[in-house]
Structure formats: structure tokens, C-alpha cells
Amino acid sequence: MNPGSERVERLWAVDALRGLLLVLMALDHANLFIARHHSSGEYWGGPFPAYKSALPFLVRFVTHLCAPGFFVLMGAGMALLSRARRRQGWTVWAVTRHFLLRGLLLMALQLLVINRAWELLPGGWGIQLYVGVLFALGGTMILGSVLWGLKPAYLLALAGLLTIGTELLAPHPDQWGTEMGVLRLVWLVPGGRHLWDGGPWLWVNYPILPWLELVVLGLAFGGWLAKDARRAYRRGLVIGVGCLAAFALVRSLGGFGNLRPPMGDTWIDWLNVVKYPPSIAFTLLTLGLNGALLWLLARLGPLGQRAARPLAVVGRAPLFFYAAHLLVYLALGYLLAPQGTSIPRMLPLWLLGLLILYPLCRWYARLKQRQPARSLLRLF
């Protein structure tokens, strides 16, 4: 295989994984907007989600892959893009400025656009300022803009320090409900600040630092991809299997790395881990599964790639899909299930939403591809 075709294959697998994660994310939000059976959130404190049957848990569990995958793939994309732009003659500052601008754009989109969509949630929203995944992606991209030139070994060491450090700095579950400073919430601890009458004016699901470790890992993985894609995929599989084994160990011990021990002794309790902030157990489990999925996608032959082509198309327009899917599933919920519905009846509507979104993503990906490298549209 010549270098050109290897590069196409590498980007296809990354795009396909990103597309798969977007499709699973859409399932999670269809569950919220249409079925209205969404999890209350796997937080470091407070009530923890409990499931009486496997289906509601599995619908939520598969979507846990999404956020970690987005942060890792964003880091990998930063590494690949920085190398490509440097070969085109961009200066270090030009590359860094690109990431700074895109990071600021993501944060602004969260606060000015995406939050307006969340306010249309059935049953009301009530939060004046929400810090969600786009805000954290933007914040970690800004921090990563000064890290993309580091060697993979240094990046891995930094990711390890961040993982352990943020776990040690996480509060004890007994502190749930304690008012915390705004900076601590935005940077470190999920939670909220409330008005005098008890209503939340700020709620943070994705503080920046606990998710930075995944972007740093992605920067290292992107460096491996740039050198040898096939070897990087194999390395990702080996690391993924190691992460799953480490997850089993951390979960069985039930102490450090879990933030909260298992709530019971069933297989659901075993896999029901703290996501906000990402506990070490959560990170190991989701990284392991993402690594295996990326390897499997990279191993697909021509027939498999043809079947999975819609995933790659969606994966090339992630930000467009994210913004559009909120409106699509909100509309489907209001029009076709105004009182909510069961999860089995929600699933066809989830697929209907994907059928609506696919041609839109294909159009947008082609439009974006035709733009010059320094076009403003390339920031989206």
C-alpha cells in the first residue's frame, strides 16, 4: 500500500469512529427528547442512576463512549492537522492561532447557540448558564494549542499526571450540595451555583481539566498515526485491551479510581460508573472500547467500508451534526411523541432522525471540503 492510500484509510477509520460516536450520541438525546427516559447523570455525588432492567441501562451505557471518544479524536485531529499545515508552510504561531480561534468558537457556540436549543427541552430547562461538552472541547483545545509540538512520550506522561491529579482533587460524595466557586466548577468539579431562591444559574457538566487528559492522549495517538497508521491502530488495540483489564482491577478494588464504589453487586452496577467528572474507571472502560472499535473499523475491507460509509460521512461534519441533531430530535419529540414514549418506540424515531441528518451532513462536508485551508468555514 502506498503512503497516499494509507493516509486515506487512516482518515477513513478515524472519521468512521467519530461518526459512530455521533450516532450513539444522537441515541442518548433521542432518549431524552422523545422517550424522556434519560439518565439523571452519573455524578460524583448526589443520587446515582438505578436501572430496573437492562434496556434502559444499555441505551445509556453505549453512549458513554461518545464524550471520551470526541476528546481523544479531537486531540488526534489536532496532531494530524498541525503536521499537515506545517508541511504547507504554516508557522508555529499560525497553527496555534488556528486552534485558539477554533477553541474560542466552540465555547461561544455552546453559550450562544447550543444552550438556546437546550432551553427548548420538554418540561423546561431553568438553567441560566450551562457549561456542556462543546465548552470543554473548546477549553481543552485552547490548552492543547500549546502542547501539540510535544513528543508522544511527554504527552503520555502529562496525561497520566492529569488523570491522577484530577482524581485526587475530586471532592468526596459527602460534599454534594455544597456551594463551590465558579472557577472551581468550570475548571474541575461538575455541579452548580444557585440563586437565593434555589434555582440554578450555573450548571457545569464538563469542567475543563478532567477532560484535558483525553485530548493529550489524542495528541500522542495522532503523532503515532502520522508516522505509521497500521502500527498506531495495533498499538491502540493493545492499549485498549490493557485499559479494559485495568478497569476490571480498579472496579474490583472499589476504592481509588472509582470516585464512588459500585451501588450493588449486579453486572449493571459493575458497569455503572461515574462520568461527571470522568473517573479513572470510566476513562479506562471507554478508552478500551474506543480503541477496540477503531481497530475494527481500520480492519474493514472494501465491502465493509462501503457499508459503513455513512458513518464516515457523518464523521466529517461533527459540529454541524451536533447542532442540527438537537433541533431534529426536539422537533420529532414535539411532533410525534409530545407526551413521551417507550424506549422501543423511540428507536425508530432515532433512526428517522439519522435519515434526515445524513444528506445534510453529506452536503455540508462537501461544502467544507471545497473551502481553502484558511477559510472561516474550516473552523466549524
Distance CA 218, CA 4 (A): 22
Q: Cα angle at 48 between 43 and 50, to 5 degrees?
A: 140
pLDDT tens per residue, range 164-174: 999 999 999 99
pLDDT at 258: 96
Q: Please name the amino acid found at residue 97.
A: R
What pLDDT is stored for residue 38 in this prediction?
Answer: 84
Q: Evaluate if residue 192 carries a pLDDT over 70.
A: yes
More confident residue, 177 or 55: 55
What is the number of other CB atoms lying within 10 angstroms of the CB of residue 326? 20
Asked whether the predicted pLDDT for residue 147 surpasses 50, the reply is: yes
Q: What is the mean pLDDT of the segment spanning 214-233?
A: 95
Nearest to 81, CA basis, from 358, 300, 374 = 374
Residues 6+ apart with CB under 8 A from 339: none
Task: Provide, rounded to the nearest whole percent, the portion of the chain with pLDDT above 70.
Answer: 93
Q: Tell me the DSSP string of 301-351.
A: -HHHHHHTHHHHHHHTSHHHHHHHHHHHHHHHHHHH-TT---HHHHHHHHH
Statement: residue 119 has pLDDT above 80: yes
Q: Which helix (H) or strand (E) holds 130?
A: strand 129-131
DSSP H helical ranges for 110-228: 115-118, 133-144, 152-169, 182-187, 208-227
Across all residues in the chain, what is the average pLDDT? 91
Residue 353 pLDDT: 98
Judged on CB neighbours under 10 Å (0-12, 13-18, 19+), 181 is: exposed
> Does residue 372 have a pLDDT over 70?
no
Please tell me the predicted confidence (pLDDT) of residue 4: 36
Of 83, 66, 10, nearest to 322 by C-alpha is 66
For 333-365, write each residue's pLDDT tens digit: 999 999 999 999 999 999 999 999 999 999 998
Closest to 10 in 3D by CA, of 228, 168, 275: 228
pLDDT at position 6: 38
The answer to whether 78 touches 43, Cβ cutoff 8 Å, is: no
